[in-house]
Amino acid sequence: MKTAGYIGVNVCRFLLGITFIFSGYVKAIDPLGTQYKIADYLAAVNLAGVLPDWITLTASVGVSAVEFSLGIFLLFAIQRRQVSRLVLLFMGVMTLISVWLFLSNPVKDCGCFGDAIHLSNGETLAKNLVLLVAAVVVACRPLCMVRFISKPNQWIATNYTVVFIVVSSLFCLYDLPFFDFRPYHIGADIRKGMEIPAGAPQPKFETTFILSKDGVQREFGLDNYPDSTWAFVNSKTVQTEEGYVPPIHDFAICDGTSGEDLTAQILARKGYSFVLVSPYLEQADDTNFGAIDRIYEYARRENVPMFGLTASRNQAIRRWQELTGAEYPFYTADATTLKTIIRSNPGLILLKNGVVVNKWSHNRLPTEEELNGPLEQLDIGKINPASITEKITMIALWFVLPLLLLTLTDRLWAWTRWMKEKKRRNKIYQLLKKRRKMRKKIVAGNWKMNLNLQEGVALVKELNEALSADQPNCDVIVCTPFIHLATVAGLLNGKPISLGAENCADKEKGAYTGEVSAEMVKSTGAEYVILGHSERRQYYRETPEILKEKVELALKNGLKVIFCIGETLEEREANKQNEVCKAELEGSVFHLSAEEFANVVIAYEPIWAIGTGKTATSDQAEEIHAFIRSAIAEKFGKDVAEQTSILYGGSCKASNAPELFAKPNIDGGLIGGAALKCADFKGIIDAWKK
């Protein structure tokens, strides 16, 4: 479902992107054509001539640039959120316009694709509805668009796109459209373009006659025309079918003075003719008239006819002739046709046998060097095979290639960064793993005052068997009451379990009835002793000072200490856990040397979690374990801290042990209740295997 969503969004994004790029580009390379279209729309809403030309021309360049740029941004998934919203807005407005066009038909061709593709208003509406749906899909989930260029490098593509399209527009405005999609393109045979092929559909008309008889009027068609008793009143004819319209259907040249139609004569003329085209001479750019005169002189020298074509009246023609000294004749043609022939006012075309051989904007007229012989021998006198392929190659070199190179460089850069990051993470991971390896993973059981000798022996035997059959992945310690120590020590001989006591005296030796010294514990074969357990602090009033004595004696006698610390519920609620733990460490073990401290294992046991069934969450436990390690690092240095095992204790069970033990600062557990049954204890030991 998720993949389908991704595919859907990306299909829509490509559909929109490619359409926007195409429609934006074909408009951008014909800024005058787009300006004429804007003027058509303004005329349709009775605003013809309200806006000055420079505003409509700027709008033409601006709209095309926005459309093209949005297409590129979609294609490269640049600024995904903002761009998808802008595209939706654009499509919303365009769809509303096309609904209006469809219903009222104020402009025949919407101009969406410039002159490259002509659509009927119905087709435009259908196209825009499809694109609107695509725009909605993309705007709903813009982040599904897969990026081709990473964010830090997107500005390069953005600026390059905008500069490219605006410069292309300005270049085509100065010169002529890069691609000429009109029927008067170079190589076009005007007469052929006017031909109606045999068998082409003819336009169809229907006439209705209104006749009257005895004061009654009725309408009749040709098929039911009545007898002569009906008198003719009126008739109306409507076109029911368009028929075939040739690409060139409005080309007519007329002598403005005599009114003679010169179209056929001019098109049938053998050889070359220069035609200066100016839809309106009043608006024609006269800065290059010197170059036009030069061409006229050349034309006279070479006996090439030259004439002007304009829709302007005689007065404007005379003004032009006076201003430029033009001696060539001017004929009249339709302004729209002239604007279609060449996007320059004035512009020059070279005809040969009715075929358009060459075209120039007034800014790029042929130079004297180019006009250095008869036209037949000159490059400009031949149809330049500057083919579509050549032009597409130019665009590829100037636009597609740089963007492609940018994309490839960016991908390479992103890949190197990703590799570096991967390496860095791997290094950190390895370091953490190594450090973790350096300290022991421990699961220690604290039987407390729960099992008699026989029960204890039975449990140890069961554990022995279970762990011999399934070797643990950590150190296992059982801490038993004093009475079990010697017996259990005998049972554990050579087995993967270590032995510890739950307490030892704070005196070395002597008349302390009922007490068991560290030396005595050690003599049983035990290796560990639990000190500082909250139950001993609480019920037997073991103060930090007493514990300090016990720790020193234990270490002195070769025992390793499992030193317990932890806060009460009230202290946790008052957020004092760190403070409490640090004070307990400072009170009893932080006076040791680093060498002595190397034999201390810390057990963090929140008092509110011991035997209550409440466990600290793994994040809570990790947070305070990390704090304890940092306190040890502060006191003994980083290396000692990294080597110190810190166990968690407090309702630890087989079910929560894996999550707790997965935390980087939790090195195992001190287990109470769950250490009394082999299966429960083994379940926790096995957490290190997960």
Active centre residues (catalytic): 533, 605
| Binding-site member from 35, 60, 651, 656 for ligand PEP (CB under 6 A) | 651
> Least separation, in Å, of the C-beta of 504 and ligand PEP?
17
Strand (E) or helix (H) holding 604: strand 600-604
Smallest distance, ligand PEP to C-beta of residue 649, A: 3
- CA dihedral (529, 530, 532, 536) positive or negative: negative
Nearer to ligand PEP, 317 or 451 (CB): 451
Q: Which is nearer to ligand PEP, 567 or 605 (CB)?
A: 605
CB of 590 to ligand PEP, least distance (A): 22
In angstroms, give the least distance from the CB of 672 to ligand PEP: 2
Size of the site for ligand PEP (CB under 6 A): 13
Question: Closest CB to ligand PEP among 31 and 649?
Answer: 649
Residue 200 DSSP symbol: P
Stretches 414-422, 500-508, 544-552, 665-673: which one binds ligand PEP (CB under 6 A)? 665-673
User: Which of 116-124, 152-160, 483-491, 649-657 is the region at the interface with ligand PEP (rule: CB under 6 A)?
Assistant: 649-657
Q: Which is nearer to ligand PEP, 517 or 651 (CB)?
A: 651
Binding test (CB under 6 A) with ligand PEP, winner from 16, 316, 671, 684? 671
Residues with Cβ < 8 Å from 114, sequence gap 6 or more? 23, 26, 27, 29, 30, 33, 34, 181
Segment interacting with ligand PEP (CB under 6 A) among 179-187, 289-297, 589-597, 672-680? 672-680
What count of other Cβ atoms lies within 10 Å of the Cβ of residue 481?
A: 18
DSSP per-residue letters across 281-320: GGG---TTHHHHHHHHHHHHHTT--EEEEESS-HHHHHHH
Closest residue by Cα to residue 525 from 563, 476, 467, 482: 482
Token pair listed for 25:
């580009």
If the CB atoms of residues 64 and 656 are measured against ligand PEP, the closer one turns out to be 656
Q: How far is the CB of 671 from ligand PEP (least distance, A)?
A: 5
Minimum Å distance from CB 621 to ligand PEP?
Answer: 12
565 touching ligand PEP, by CB under 6 A: no
First-to-last alpha carbon distance for the chain, in angstroms, is: 32
**Residue nearer to ligand PEP on the CB measure, 64 or 651:** 651
Query: In the complex with ligand PEP, which residue's Cβ is closer, 19 or 446?
Result: 446
Instruction: Rank residues 30 and 584 by Cβ distance to ligand PEP and give the closer one.
Output: 584
Smallest Cα–Cα separation from 272: which of 356, 390, 211, 168? 356
Question: Following DSSP, what letter does each residue of 345-405 receive, concatenated?
Answer: SSEEEEEETTEEEEEEEGGGPPPTTT-SS-GGGSGGGS-----HHHHHHHHIIIIIHHHHH
Whether the CA torsion 172, 175, 180, 184 is positive or negative: it is positive
Among 672, 678, 685, 688, binds ligand PEP (CB under 6 A): 672
Cβ 664 to ligand PEP, closest distance in Å? Answer: 21
Residue of 611, 638, 677, 690 interacting with ligand PEP (CB under 6 A):
611
Question: Between 577 and 651, whose beta carbon lies closer to ligand PEP?
Answer: 651
Residue number, 533 or 635, with CB nearest to ligand PEP: 533
Stretch that binds ligand PEP, among 19-27, 171-179, 248-256, 644-652 (CB under 6 A): 644-652
- The Cα–Cα gap between 607 and 649 comes to 9
Measured CA distances, 173 to 93, 107, 384, 397 (Å): 27, 24, 21, 21
Does 606 engage in binding with ligand PEP (CB under 6 A)? Answer: no
Told to check if 324 binds ligand PEP by CB under 6 A, we report no
Residue 650 interacts with ligand PEP (CB under 6 A): yes or no: yes
SS3 (DSSP) at 77: coil
Least distance to ligand PEP, CB of residue 611, Å: 4
Among 43, 673, 680, 683, binds ligand PEP (CB under 6 A): 673
Q: Which bin fits 69, alpha (ψ -120 to 50), beta or left (φ > 0)?
A: alpha
379: nearest Cα among 356, 357, 346, 361: 357
What's the closest the beta carbon of residue 633 comes to ligand PEP, in angstroms?
A: 25
Q: How far apart are CB 629 and ligand PEP at their closest, in Å?
A: 20
Q: How far is the CB of 569 from ligand PEP (least distance, A)?
A: 14
Gyration radius of the chain's alpha carbons: 48
List all residues 6 or more positions away from 242 whose beta carbon is below 8 Å from its beta carbon.
203
Helix (H) or strand (E) holding 408: helix 401-438
Asked whether position 668 contacts ligand PEP by CB under 6 A, the answer is no
Distances (CA, A) of 532 to 553, 554, 587, 605, 618: 14, 12, 11, 10, 23
* SS3 state at 622: helix
Among 38, 403, 451, 670, binds ligand PEP (CB under 6 A): 670
Report the residue number, 32 or 581, with the smaller CB distance to ligand PEP. Answer: 581
- Work out whether 649 is an interface residue with ligand PEP (CB under 6 A): yes
Residue matched to tokens 């410039």 = 114
| Contacts for 370 with CB less than 8 Å, ≥ 6 apart | 378, 379, 380
Residue nearest to ligand PEP (CB): 672
Site stretch for ligand PEP (CB under 6 A), options 6-14, 205-213, 580-588, 666-674: 666-674
Piece in contact with ligand PEP (CB under 6 A), picked from 93-101, 483-491, 667-675, 677-685: 667-675
Residues 400-439 that bind ligand PEP (CB under 6 A): none
Residue 446 binds to ligand PEP (criterion: CB under 6 A): yes
Tokens of 494: 């050579």
H or E, element range at 600: strand 600-604
> Which among 320-328, 468-476, 568-576, 669-677 is the span making contact with ligand PEP, rule CB under 6 A?
669-677
Counting every residue written for the chain, the total comes to: 690
CB of 610 to ligand PEP, least distance (A): 4
Identity of the residue, 309 or 477, whose beta carbon is nearer to ligand PEP in the bound complex: 477
Which SS3 state, helix, strand or coil, does residue 191 take? helix
What's the CA gap between 260 and 191, in Å, rounded?
Answer: 19
Rounded distance between C-alpha atoms, residue 136 and residue 85, angstroms = 9
Whole-number Cα distances in Å, 526 to 44, 441, 468, 495: 102, 19, 20, 13
Burial group, residue 204, by CB count within 10 angstroms (0-12, 13-18, 19+): exposed
Note whether 605 binds ligand PEP by CB under 6 A. yes
C-beta closer to ligand PEP: residue 357 or 610: 610
Instruction: By CB under 6 A, name the one of 610, 631, 647, 684 that touches ligand PEP.
Output: 610
| Sign of the CA dihedral with 507 first, then 511, 512, and 516 last | positive
Q: Which stretch binds ligand PEP (CB under 6 A): 202-210, 434-442, 650-658, 682-690?
A: 650-658
Contacting range for ligand PEP; rule: CB under 6 A; set: 75-83, 121-129, 482-490, 670-678: 670-678
- State which H helix or E strand residue 588 sits in: helix 577-588
**DSSP-derived secondary structure letter, 215:** T
Quick one: which of 652, 678, 685, 687 contacts ligand PEP (CB under 6 A)? 652
To the nearest whole angstrom, how small is the minimum distance from the Cβ of residue 533 to ligand PEP? Answer: 6
584 binds ligand PEP (CB under 6 A): no
Residues that bind ligand PEP (CB under 6 A): 446, 605, 610-611, 649-652, 670-674
